Structure 1
Amino acid sequence: MSKLVECVPNFSEGRNKETIDALAAAISETEGCRLLDVDPGASTNRTVYTFVGSPEAVVEGALNAARVAFKMIDMSKHKGEHPRMGALDVCPFIPVRNVTMAECVSCANKFAEKLANELHVPVYLYAEAARTEGRRTLPAVRAGEYEALATKLQNPEWKPDFGEPIFVPSWGATVTGARKFLIAYNVNLLTTKELAHRIALNIREGGRGKDEPGRLKKVQAIGWYLEEENLAQLSANILDYEITPLHMVYEETRKDAKELNLPILGSQLVGLVPLQALLASADYYIKEENLFILEEEHKIRLVINRLGLDSLAPFEPRKRIIEYLVEDDLSGALISQTLKGFVHSVGARTPTPGGGSVSAAVAAMVSTVESHK
């Protein structure tokens, strides 16, 4: 079988349809790349793209999109709820099939070098590609965000891994790396941003700091407010859904919300999700409620109902579950074909990319969205 890598670039534009479509076209028209998902958010002013291809193809696809972003995005004018430091804020590479993590690290290094050399912008490496422990997590690298970047670049400790330590106002800086699958998941709360963030501090692994850790392992989270929906969200990145499954994030959030007398209005998956993540939550509710359900389709419908995954927009399993969307390379079409014009409009199914989108295939399909969480 051919090698398959997933790339999930997060661009700091979620409102301008022309730019969003142009970035999608740059990816989908790259030979050997298949664009799977486009997830724009107005409040976050950010769009998460998910695409797959060979190691060489995904690097080129990411570069093609970056070239478009360099012409169309101006970070000096950017405002949004999502933490960010650059026009192409973060660009992870994820192993999907017949590819090692080391090969994805190589993708990140090649992409970073080409991006820095061609566009003359600073680029940092994170996650499995990080060269120092202090740059391993995205929140650490992105601390201070765009507004503090000019000062940060003057600090020798924050010399970019690629490119010169020179502030480029229109671009900012880009973070790239290699990592495992990640699920971006938001819980809807009828409350303020501040109270949503208070709950996030309670449940996220980092808590309020080393002396006051949170309850859920492998979870990053923040609270924000969606003006277009008139509600707040606890926005989480689940770094390992086998350690902390979807339903645990939902139930722990609901527990804290109940103590604060705050109503929950369902939840939202951002981008694509692996089938097993939903089935694990289905099994939880089946056992908890002593239900008798055997069919996979019924289990998925149960999870959609219990987590309220259709609260903000319809949740269509055939378009949202990675194994359904990407079959096991029937007739080899996944790698060989070039998809042109596969562009989603700004009015996509979700109002905000919690930081990102995802994908993977059958046994090890992996993906992700990035957030400061």
Structure 2
Amino acid sequence: MLVAYNVNLDEVDAEVSKLAGTLVRSSGRLIKREDGKKMRIPGMLVKVQGMGVTLEGHGISQVSMNLLDVSSTPLHYAYEAVKSIAGDHGVEVCGSELVGLVPLSAMLESGTWYHDDAATADESELVAAAISGLGLDSLGEFDPANRIIEWTIGDE
């Protein structure tokens, strides 16, 4: 299942966001020699499209990604990969955002990564850990009842 997911960076010009986008996306980056010969170096993450963009209204930039198969590349893999690249370049990650809906399984998997005692946590605690760990509420409230597919369907 495709999930549209953006990681926020505390930079205005999107220089590091653009670099991170090329490094994490599956297609990677194109390397060119002076003589014009080219080769493509694969990216870090599987089934991911990514690019860096400026989010002028918030004074930050984003690595905007389509996770083409969130079971192949979970949310926290994408978040932590971008965080690592940004940190290597002196830029802080300041949260993330989901565009649209997300499967419960994706939130539980990320919640398991971020929760201190995932083995004893219930579903809502794991979801809360994912929201906190991924910084999903950094640009505004993240209401899981309206953003998690299974929970949204359950309200009908």
Q: When the two structures are superposed, what TM-score results if normalisation uses the length of structure 1? A: 0.38
For 2:58, what is the secondary structure of its paired residue?
coil
The amino acid of 1:215's aligned partner reads M
Match of 2:129?
302
Answering whether residue 33 of structure 2 is matched by residue 213 of structure 1, we say no
Match of 2:71?
242
The amino acid of 1:195's aligned partner reads V
Instruction: Report deviation, 1:294.
Output: 2.3
1:311-322 matches, cutoff 5 A: 311-322=138-149
Give the total of aligned pairs. Answer: 147
Which deviations, in whole Å up to 9, do the C-alpha atoms of 1:93-131 show, x marking residues without a partner?
Answer: xxxxxxxxxxxxxxxxxxxxxxxxxxxxxxxxxxxxxxx
Which deviations, in whole Å up to 9, do the C-alpha atoms of 1:332-369 show, x marking residues without a partner?
Answer: xxxxxxxxxxxxxxxxxxxxxxxxxxxxxxxxxxxxxx
Instruction: Report deviation, 1:205.
Output: 0.4
For 2:87, what is the secondary structure of its paired residue?
helix
Instruction: Give the alignment partner of residue 196 of structure 1, picking from 7, 10, 17.
Output: 17
1:166-185 matches, cutoff 5 A: 181-185=1-5
Which deviations, in whole Å up to 9, do the C-alpha atoms of 1:56-77 show, x marking residues without a partner?
Answer: xxxxxxxxxxxxxxxxxxxxxx
Q: Distance in 1 between matches of 2:121 and 2:20?
A: 35
Structure 1 segments (4+ residues) deviating >3 Å:
289-293
Instruction: Report deviation, 1:280.
Output: 1.0
Q: Distance in 2 between matches of 1:308 and 1:245?
A: 15
The amino acid of 2:137's aligned partner reads D
Match of 2:86?
257
The amino acid of 1:182's aligned partner reads L
Q: Does the 8 A contact of 2:118 with 2:126 survive in 1?
A: no
Match of 2:107?
278
Match of 1:222?
51
Q: Distance in 2 between matches of 1:212 and 1:198?
A: 13
Q: Does the 8 A contact of 1:186 with 1:267 survive in 2?
A: yes
Q: In 2 relative to 1, CA 317–301 (structure 1 residues): closer, same or farther, beyond 3 Å?
A: same
For 2:42, what is the secondary structure of its paired residue?
coil
Structure 2 unaligned spans of 5+: 31-38
1:28-47 matches, cutoff 5 A: none
What RMSD, in angstroms, separates the aligned Cα atoms of the two structures? 1.6
Q: Does the 8 A contact of 2:112 with 2:118 survive in 1?
A: no
Q: Does the 8 A contact of 1:293 with 1:299 survive in 2?
A: no
Instruction: Report deviation, 1:292.
Output: 4.7
Q: Does the 8 A contact of 1:182 with 1:240 survive in 2?
A: yes
Instruction: Report deviation, 1:326.
Output: 1.2
Q: Distance in 1 between matches of 2:62 and 2:42?
A: 21
For 2:29, what is the secondary structure of its paired residue?
coil
Match of 1:147?
none
For 1:199, what is the secondary structure of its paired residue?
helix
Whichever of the two has the greater Rg, that structure is: 1
Match of 2:151?
324
1:336-347 matches, cutoff 5 A: none
